[in-house]
Each structure stands twice: as structure tokens, then as C-alpha cells.
Chain A
């Protein structure tokens, strides 16, 4: 199956700083790359996704970049706020598969 490595496992930043989480993968057939945010005691929720025909996507303070050649994609959060503190998961999927592959998660802590 597909593999995805997510780094770092823990990220601590000051409020207002930027945070970047990176995922690398091996299967070149992967073509869908979502990011999920899991707050304490809740299920993961999609925050942004990107498909392989696009290199970058932005939604307010959140952006995702994809480098298909190098097989990595990253989540960028600017002007972090304490409410951004959560566990973030990258994931990926390829055409025809019913199984998404999840990274191991990054615990982001934003200090006020």
C-alpha cells in the first residue's frame, strides 16, 4: 500500500508565527492530498485539500503546496492563533482506491 511520512511529530510556536508541516510519499499514482485537523475529543475534520493538477491552494491563513516531482506536500498556517492548537494529519489517495493513507499526525501547540 501507499506510505506517507509526516514531520514533525510535534511543533511548538508562538502566537503569530507561521507553522509548516510536511508529508512525503512514495506512490506516484497518488493524486488527492487532504489535510485534517483533530481537536481534543473530536474526530478529524478536513481543513484543506489539493489535487495533483494544482501546485498550491490557499484558504485564508491556510495553504497547501504540492511538489509531485519530489513527492511531497506541505501545510502552511500563517499568523497562528491558540485555537489552531490541534493534531494535524496529512492523507493521500489514488484513483480507484477506497483506502486513504494517513500520516502519523503532528501535534501543533500555539503559545499565546
Chain B
């Protein structure tokens, strides 16, 4: 079974809409992340949560709001979508006991296309 799962896999929407991406991990990890991967494959970290608490917000516009209802879930809500938000978004987790010094387990990604 997939350790880190994301839904949906593909998301096509119009500019100005609000959309959410869901992420769940069944590994019992304490730390979860959201990454954005642009068309040049650059992986940029957006947020990091540890035990449902926000640890890092890497200068992401406040149109992006992560929500962690419990430590197995980290959802990403995006308001007023813009063309530049088109990218692949990856959720990831790690055990958290070593901070970033542990393996990152990535989900399969959500390809967001804003028209």
C-alpha cells in the first residue's frame, strides 16, 4: 500500500478558483511537508509541520493555507488560483526524530494546471 498518498492526482481549474489537495501518510511519521516542483523540476519546500504544528513557512503567499487535522494528514488549500501556481505539488513525510536528517518519503504528486 502507498505510504504517502495524495488526492487528486490531476487538478485542472480556472484562474481565481479555490482548490484543495489532500495528503495522508500511514507511516506514523511526525513531520510532513509540502513541496512545489516547477516545469524545470526544481523542488521548492513550501511548508513543514511537526506533530500538527507549523514549523516552516517558506515565504509562500498567504493564498496557500496548509491544514493538519492530525499528524497523519496535511492538506493544502489554495485560494484565488493564479497561472503561476501551475506545478506539481508533492506531499512528503519523515520520521521527524532527526529533523531533516531522515529520509523524505514523497507522495505521487498532484499536477495542478491553472487555465
Chain A interfacial positions (CB closer than 8 Å to B): 31-32, 34, 36, 38, 41-46, 49, 51, 87, 89, 91, 93-100, 102, 104-105, 107
By a CB distance below 8 angstroms, the chain B residues around A87 are 41
Complex Cα spacing A31 to B58, Å: 22
In Å, the complex CA distance between A42 and B105 comes to 12
Contact of B104 among A36, A51, A105 (CB under 8 A): A36
Please classify the interface of chain A as helix (H, G, I), strand (E, B), loop, or mixed, using the class held by over half of its residues.
strand
Given known pairs A98-B55, A100-B45, A105-B42, the reply for A31 and B104 (CB within 8 Å) is: no
Asked if residues B100 and A98 are in contact (CB atoms below 8 Å), the reply is: yes
Min Cβ gap A8→B in Å is: 14
B28 contacts the other chain (CB 8 A): no
Are A102 and B100 interface neighbours, CB within 8 A?
no
20 A-B contacts (beta carbon < 8 Å): A32-B102, A34-B104, A41-B109, A42-B109, A43-B106, A43-B107, A43-B109, A44-B90, A44-B104, A51-B101, A87-B41, A96-B99, A98-B48, A98-B55, A98-B99, A98-B100, A99-B100, A100-B45, A104-B40, A105-B41
